[in-house]
Amino acid sequence: MKRKVQLAAGLAISLVCLWLAARGLELAEVGRALATARYPWLLPALILYFAGVWVRAARWHLLLLPVAALPSVDLFPVVVIGYMANNVLPARLGELARCYVLRRRHGVPQSAALATVLLERVMDGITMLVFMAGALLFLPFSPGLYRLMGGAAVLFGGAASVLVVVATRPSLGIRLVTAVTRPLPEHVGGRVQSLAASFFIGLAALGGGAMLRVCALSGVAWLLEAGMYFTLMYAFPLTPSLPLAVLTTAVANLGTLIPSSPGYVGVFDFLGRSVLAQFGVPEEVALAYVLVVHAALVLPVSLLGFWYAWRAGALQWLMRPGGGAAHRPEGQPGRGAGGPPGGAPAPGELQAQGARVR
C-alpha cells in the first residue's frame, strides 16, 4: 500500500508539473517549434552527452578503488543500465539497480557500492550549485534562483559535511551504529553493523588527493552535459547562450530531487521552461526546446541500457514487478531455481530494498 501511495503521489506531481509547463501556452506554436526544429544538431549533442556518461564511469572507477579496481570500460555499461532503470522504474531505483548489477557482474558488496553512489549524488549536487553560481554572474539578477541556490547549498553542504566526518572518522560511525543496534537481536544487529562497515569502506574515496580528481571529473561530466543543452539551442529559434544553458542544466537536474514519475516527467520540463522563459526565451519555444532535450536525455540512454541489461541477463529481474526470491546475505550466491544468478536480487527484493534505502 505504501508503495502504491508513493507511485500515485509521484504521478500526481508529474501531471501537475506538466500542466504548469503547458499552462497559458499556445500548444499549436509549441508543435510548430517542434516541427521546424533542426534535428541534425541532435548528433553532436548526443556525442557530448555520452562523453559525459563515460566520464561518470571514470569517476565511479575512482570512487570504487577502495573496494574494487574496475576499469571504466567495465563500469560504463553498468552506469548506462542505472540511467535506464531510473528512466523506467519509480523512486530512483536505478541507483540500486546498478549496485545490484555491479554485485552480480563483479562481486562488489551492495552497501559499499551504495556509499559510492551517495558520494556521486552529493558531488553532483555541489557541482550544480557551482554551475548556478557561475551562470548567474552573467545573467540578470533573479531573487528566486538565488533562494533556490541557497536552499540547495544548505542541503548538499550538510550532506557533504556528514559524509566527510564519517569518512575521516569511521570509528565514530561504527560506534554510533553499534549503539543504535544494541537493543536489536544479536543476528540483526550484527548484520546491520556488517553492512555499515562495508558502507564506510565505500566512503574511503573521500580521503586524499583522489577526491580532487573526483571533483574535477564531476565538473567535466556536467560541462559535457551542459554542452549538450547549449548545442541543442542551435536547433531552435532562440539565441544560444552558454550561461543560460549551464543554468538550465543545473536547475532542471536539481529538480529531479522532487518526487515524480520515472524519467522525471513534468518536473524537468516545467523547471527547464521556467528558467528559459525568465530570461527572455518565448515560452512556446522554451517548452519545445526542453521537450527535445528531455527526450534526448532519456530515450537513447534507455535503449542502450536495455541492450546492456539484456546482454547481462539482467532484464528479467530488473523489469519484472514483484518476485519471490528470499533475501540472501551479500556475497552468497543464489541457488534457487529461477532466481537471478550470481547473488543478484530478485525484483521483489529490489523493490523492498528500495523502500528501505529511501
Q: How many CA atoms lie within 13 A of 56 on its CB side?
A: 25
* Secondary structure E strands in 6-143: none
Higher pLDDT, 304 or 14: 304
H or E element in which residue 312 lies: none
pLDDT digits (tens, 9 = 90+) for 79-129: 999 999 989 887 678 888 888 889 888 888 888 888 888 889 888 988 999
Biggest CA pair distance of the chain: 66
* pLDDT at residue 41 is higher than 80: yes
Least confident of 60-64, 70-74, 186-190, 208-212: 186-190
Burial label for 327, CB within 10 Å (0-12, 13-18, 19+), is: exposed
CB 42 within 8 A of CB 234: no
In sequence order, the 6+-apart residues with CB closer than 8 A to the CB of 327 are 345, 349, 352
The span from the CA of 296 to the CA of 208, in Å, is: 37
Which pLDDT belongs to residue 206?
66
The grid cell for 187 is 543476528
User: What is the grid cell recorded at 165?
Assistant: 566526518
Contacts of residue 290, Cβ cutoff 8 Å, sequence gap at least 6: 21, 248, 252, 268, 269, 272, 273, 276
Domain boundaries in the chain?
Answer: 40-91+108-320+340-353
- Note whether 167 and 204 are within 8 A (CB): yes
The model's pTM: 0.80
DSSP state of 90: S
- The residue among 310, 311, 322 whose CA lies nearest residue 346 is 322
Helix, strand, coil fractions of the chain, as percent rounded to 5 = 75, 0, 25
Q: What is the pLDDT of residues 70-90, one digit of tens each?
A: 999 999 999 999 999 989 887
* Least confident interval from 21-30, 175-184, 304-313: 175-184
Task: Output 346 or 88, whichever has higher pLDDT.
Answer: 88
Q: What is the pLDDT of residues 277-300, one digit of tens each?
A: 999 999 999 999 999 999 999 999
**CA 336: distance to chain centroid?**
32
pLDDT for 256 beyond 90 = no
The confidence band for 329, taking pLDDT boundaries of 50, 70 and 90, is: very low
Output the pLDDT for position 345: 40
Q: Tell me the per-residue pLDDT of 209-235, one tens digit each, with 9 for 90 and over.
A: 777 888 899 999 999 999 999 999 999
- Among the ranges given (7-21, 198-212, 327-341), the one the predictor scored with the smallest mean pLDDT: 327-341
- Asked whether the beta carbons of 299 and 305 are under 8 A apart, the reply is no
Q: Which residues of 271-306 are buried (b: 16+ CB within 10 A; e: fewer)?
A: bbbbbbbbbebbbbbbbbbbbbbbebbbebbbebbb
**In the structure, what pLDDT confidence band is assigned to residue 34 with cuts at 50, 70 and 90?**
very high
Amino acid identity at 206: L
Q: Are the C-beta atoms of 264 and 255 separated by less than 8 Å? A: yes
C-alpha cell at 105: 557482474
Q: Is the per-residue pLDDT at 315 higher than 50?
A: yes
d(CA 123, CA 62): 13
> E strand or H helix at 169, and its extent?
none
Q: Would you state the pLDDT for residue 189? A: 67
